[in-house]
Amino acid sequence: MATTPPTNITLRTSNSTRPVLDLLLPGFERAAGHKVTLILDTAKNSLARIKAGERADAAVLLDKSIDELAGMGVLIADSRQPFSRSTIGIGVLQGAPKPDISTVAAFKQTLLNAKSIAHTVHGPSGAYFLELCERLGIAEQVKPKTVTRPGGYIGVVVTAGEAEMAFQQICELLAVPGIELVGPIPEAVQYNFDSKAAIFTDSKNQDAARDLLKYFARPEHAATFIKAGLGQLRD
């Protein structure tokens, strides 16, 4: 597979894509001979750090962030390619009763009935949670019951016994041992987080990074994305 000499590729990404990258990268490293080092942060912080001057060889971030950085010349515009689609779900402690979230009305009532709900502050799903509660007209009732963390896998708050349920991207909920997925939130209030991959303009390993992006887009990896709670997106 390798078309370039073995090297170390640095890849900036957010926590939501780490589960699928953990599954994909070992195969790439074996086949290509390259080593991939992840630079992880929340989606919001990753974008801010890049804008502040931090760099890598490639990035996998929300599509709007990739497009913004390409417009700034930080990323190579024609290297952009779709990567994944992530949706939001509810997670509870393994073995705990699963609340009804099958309809918008049932989901709304579940949030009202919950003793405590965990979400992130800087992650995109956390921002959407606040917006969604406003749309549902329950922001004031739900706010006192929320348990927040700046970022990361919020399911750990549930497994630690600090919250009854977690609201986050499904791929991040599935990454926490001891968390059981109740399911995706209703389609009428669902939010899709689409991500893209691209190469940094000043990368010294652009050929190797292109090898990596081609590997991500292979159709045979669709099942791996699903296993990680994501949908694979391809051109």
* Structure confidence by residue, pLDDT tens digits, 172-227: 999 999 999 999 999 999 999 999 999 999 999 999 999 999 999 999 999 999 99
The whole-number pLDDT of residue 3 equals: 61
pLDDT over 60 at 1, yes or no: no
pTM higher than 0.85: yes
CA angle 36, 169, 153 (to 5 degrees): 65
pLDDT digits over 92-145, tens only?
999 999 999 999 999 999 999 999 999 999 888 999 999 999 999 999 999 999
Residue-wise burial string across 69-100, b where 16 or more C-beta atoms lie within 10 A, e elsewhere: bbeeebbbeebbbbbbebbbbbbbbeeeeebe
Question: Domains of the chain, with CATH numbers?
Answer: 8-85+194-232 (3.40.190.10), 88-189 (3.40.190.10)
* Residue 42: per-residue pLDDT: 86
Question: Quick one: pLDDT band at residue 19, thresholds 50, 70, 90?
Answer: very high
Please write the tens of the pLDDT for every residue from 89-103. Answer: 999 999 999 999 999
Mean pLDDT value across the chain: 96
Q: How far is CA 234 from CA 68, 132, 194, in A?
A: 20, 29, 11
pLDDT in tens, 61-83: 999 999 999 999 999 999 999 99
pLDDT, tens digit (0-9, with 9 covering 90-100), for 32-50 = 999 999 999 988 899 999 9
Taking the C-alpha atoms of residue 19 and residue 228, their distance in angstroms, rounded to an integer, is 6
Q: Assign 4 a pLDDT band (cuts: 50, 70, 90).
A: confident
